[in-house]
Amino acid sequence: MKFTTPATTNPIDRLKVVGKPHQRIDGPLKTTGTAPYAYEQHKAAPNAAYGWVIGSAIAKGRINAIDTATARRAPGVLAVVTHENAGKLGKGEHNAAHLLAGPDVQHYHQAVAIVVAETFEQARAAAALVKVDYAKVQGVYDLDAAKNAAKKPDEKDKPESKVADFEGAFASAPVKLDATYHTPDQSHAMMEPHASIAAWEGDKLTLWTSNQMINWGKKDLAKTLGVPEEKVRLVSPYVGGGFGGKLFLRSEALMAALGARAAGRPVKVALQRSLMMNNTTHRPATLQRIRIGATREGKINAIAHESWSGNLPDGKPETAVNQSRLLYAGPNRLTRMMLAGLDLPEGNSMRAPGEAPGMMALEIAMDEMAEKLKMDPVTFRVINDTTVDPEHPERKFSTRRLVDCLRQGAQRFGWNKRKATPGQMREGRWLIGYGMAAAFRDNKNMKSGARVRLERDGGVTVETDMTDIGTGSYTILAQTAAEMLGVPLARVTVRLGDSAYPVSSGSGGQFGGNSSTAGLYAACVKLREAIAQKAGIDPAQAEFADGAVRGGGKSQDLRQLAAQGELTGEDTMEYGDLDKKFQQSTFGAHFVEVAVDAATAEVRVRRMLAVCASGRILNPVTARSQVIGAMTMGVGAALMEDLVVDKRIGYFVNHDMAEYHVPVHADIPHQEVVFLDEVDPYSSPMKAKGVAELGICGVAAAVANAIYNATGVRVREYPVTLDKLLVKMPAVA
């Protein structure tokens, strides 16, 4: 099915199941510990040996020699694989660095070997016996120092956009802001580590893995190993968190496959936490310069956003200027991205890549500009709203309710109680501040397929390689099938995460929910046609409800129709050019209250509110879970998350959960989430859009703005830690 014209009335609009707050259908399995994650596929891959990955002890250079003789003789050891005996390996389409080092080393903790043994403890002990002789080369590890040598990325990354005369308009603007902001490297820090079990049967490989994008992973694993794609099967029914860190094939998957081939039996590998942050990917640090020129009445006439980030030679930039191309009006515009070559571990997608760090800077700049204008921050954003793409005014937004989000958020939060002058609200020793920020994230549609089957007992089975990374994919897919076929939710079985199933959109970029359900919608249309034809009913007149199909004066029970043989529908949803004709985006507003200790500068977040406009909300329960999780990550980005680079050695020093701090329950207050009633017929037949990443966009800035309102201390370098506040805190009364 191809989606080329805006959606009209369709079966989803009945909203008998879709749009209702159903609990997760996979919840009982997860809460009872019976959902098998990648490392727990004991029945599927019995008698698995254990692999321990050894990471490089240098960030750049070469491996002169690897001595594995002692390790091979250690108790229980079955195999040791290095670049010397791994065979010829390629590099996946989505990998910036090779997943196995040798002889060249491209970054710290790049995998240099895997030791396979009968037990986990034996593999770990033997790994300590492997001796690697390195020839170290000095690399480039400091973004600040590398900034001047940065270059424009590839043109396909759209590194620069210009509209009219920014420089001239900015120079003549009555009110101006020119400020630079810094966001640090950050880690995904998901609960489940990167984990895989590999098993070979002849020349066929099955990999049970924790991966968000099954088809991408299958293709890249086949390419890396140099085997035909049809010889590789990936299975990932449950993923314990990804946030973009598991979008692509990572080293534990390859090393498990190599280890299993060498040992002649299944091998399971989970990257140790101390290896994950350097071995896999992270959100790259940025330096961002923002310039805004406005009239004294607050109308933006000139806006520029320039960003510098770093990566390995084949890596991409952090697209931190994305939102600035679309969020606010202004006739004279400039955005630019620059990419520096760094020898740090690969920078790649992390929840809301681009917009998340970009809005950490832009939404502070908007507050700073509002203060210069002596204007309320909400009002300043409202008067600079736009109904068209500012860079391409002929292109309207499919839907845009930013102003509604801002105004409803302000009203619900009690924004009118905020004091414009910092440091004016106090409760005992606590300085109280209110902060806000707009939220923005682009909407993407991805080609996605599914298969749906009416079983002989009248039940419905859904099969697609879509993944559930804790987002509720199982549930919204079941809701979609139930709505389309008129059966109870309990009669739908959903099977996910297997490359043997039709290729889906996968989970990422907040495109997964809308795209995968749209693909299932297409498959259900095919099945509805097959059912109606068997029932002797015109498919155009067929109505599905209460486990039956009706039309033309006829009614047939679905169970009776399938009693003699199951009926199947399979299709893929593809997209035309509606996204080019209309800009599709999601919008929101974040409001935060903080308390800052007047003596110690300790920050406590006390209230949080998010108002979101994201098309049809397919399930308010799972959608809210996604937004509050994103808000929590935003607090982490604001106050604590920072991968600290050792600029001498070239690695992230705090590469474990003891030293890389993320929010815990005590850090997070009550979080309120409001979804505006909205449908977007330009997005898909579901009329939905993404929401999982919108929830993080702007949160960190809202926190930083609240801290400024409480203390009068403006911090432009994240995270906002005590040392950055204490030196400028107001005197204690």
Please identify every residue annotated as catalytic: 693
Angle value at C-alpha 175, between 171 and 180, nearest 5 degrees: 75
What residue has token string 């933006």?
A: 300
Query: For residue 354, what are the CA distances in angstroms to 157, 189, 226, 322, 509?
Result: 12, 18, 33, 6, 11
Q: Is the dihedral of CA 718, 723, 727, 733 positive or negative?
A: positive
Rounded to the nearest angstrom, the gap between the alpha carbon of residue 4 and the centroid of all alpha carbons in its chain is 27
Beta strands at 267-270 and 49-55: parallel, antiparallel or unpaired? parallel
Q: Is the dihedral of CA 72, 75, 78, 83 positive or negative?
A: negative
For residue 383, count other CB atoms closer than 10 A to its CB.
16
In this structure, are residues 480 and 449 in contact, taking their beta carbons and an 8 Å threshold?
Answer: no
SS3 164: coil
In this structure, are residues 362 and 370 in contact, taking their beta carbons and an 8 Å threshold?
Answer: no
CA distance 6 to 581: 11
Rounded to the nearest 10°, the torsion over CA 666, 670, 671, 672 is 180
In this structure, are residues 705 and 362 in contact, taking their beta carbons and an 8 Å threshold?
Answer: no
Beta strands at 492-495 and 543-545: parallel, antiparallel or unpaired? unpaired
CA distance 674 to 210: 32
Two tokens at 508? Answer: 């990422």
Rounded to the nearest angstrom, the gap between the alpha carbon of residue 426 and the centroid of all alpha carbons in its chain is 37
In this structure, are residues 318 and 354 in contact, taking their beta carbons and an 8 Å threshold?
Answer: yes
In this structure, are residues 501 and 451 in contact, taking their beta carbons and an 8 Å threshold?
Answer: yes
> Widest CA span of the chain, in angstroms?
84
The side-by-side arrangement of strands in the sheet containing 567-575 is 2-3, 567-575, 448-454, 460-463, 492-495
In this structure, are residues 642 and 655 in contact, taking their beta carbons and an 8 Å threshold?
Answer: no
Backbone angles phi, psi at 579, to 5 degrees: -70, -20
In this structure, are residues 333 and 164 in contact, taking their beta carbons and an 8 Å threshold?
Answer: yes
